Amino acid sequence: MKKLFYFCSIISLVIISCQKETKTEKTSTVIIDTTLENSVWVNTKYLQTLEKTKSPLQASAFADTVLIGFNEKADTASVTWNFHEGSQYRIQRDKKILFFNTYETKNTSEMEAKFEDGKLKIGTSSFSKVDTIGFIEKKYWLGKFKNKKGFIEFLSDGSVKGIDSLSSYYVWIDYVTTQTDIDLIDLKSKKEISKTYGYKVKENGITFFDFIWEEEGMIGKKGKELFTIKRK
**In tens digits, what is the pLDDT along the chain, a chain of 232 residues?**
444 333 344 434 433 333 333 333 334 566 667 789 999 999 999 999 999 999 999 999 999 999 999 999 999 999 999 999 999 999 999 889 999 999 888 889 999 999 999 999 999 999 999 987 688 998 899 999 998 888 999 999 999 999 888 999 999 999 999 999 999 999 999 989 999 999 999 988 999 999 999 999 899 999 999 999 999 8
Residues 83 and 114 in one domain: yes
On whether both 119 and 184 belong to a single domain, the answer is no
Are 123 and 190 in the same domain? no
Q: Is the pTM value of this prediction over 0.85?
A: no
Range of the domain at 118: 4-132
pLDDT at 43: 97
Report pLDDT for 135: 84
* pLDDT of the residue at 6: 39
The b/e string for 61-89 (b: 16+ C-beta within 10 A; e otherwise) is: ebbebbbbbbbeebebbbbbebbbebeeb
Task: Show which of 132, 165, 199 is a domain's final residue.
Answer: 132
Distances in whole angstroms, Cα of residue 11 to Cα of each of 26, 69, 110, 123, 222: 24, 12, 25, 28, 30
Picking from 102, 132, 162, the residue at the C-terminal end of a domain is 132
| Count of structural domains, the chain | 2
Q: In this structure, are 94 and 206 located in the same domain?
A: no
Residue ending a domain, among 104, 132, 160, is: 132
| 215 and 162 assigned to the same domain | yes
224 and 172 inside one domain: yes
Q: Are residues 77 and 154 in the same domain?
A: no
Of 203, 208, 206, 200, the residue nearest 225 (C-alpha): 208
Shared-domain flag, residues 193 and 219: yes
pLDDT of amino acid 32: 64
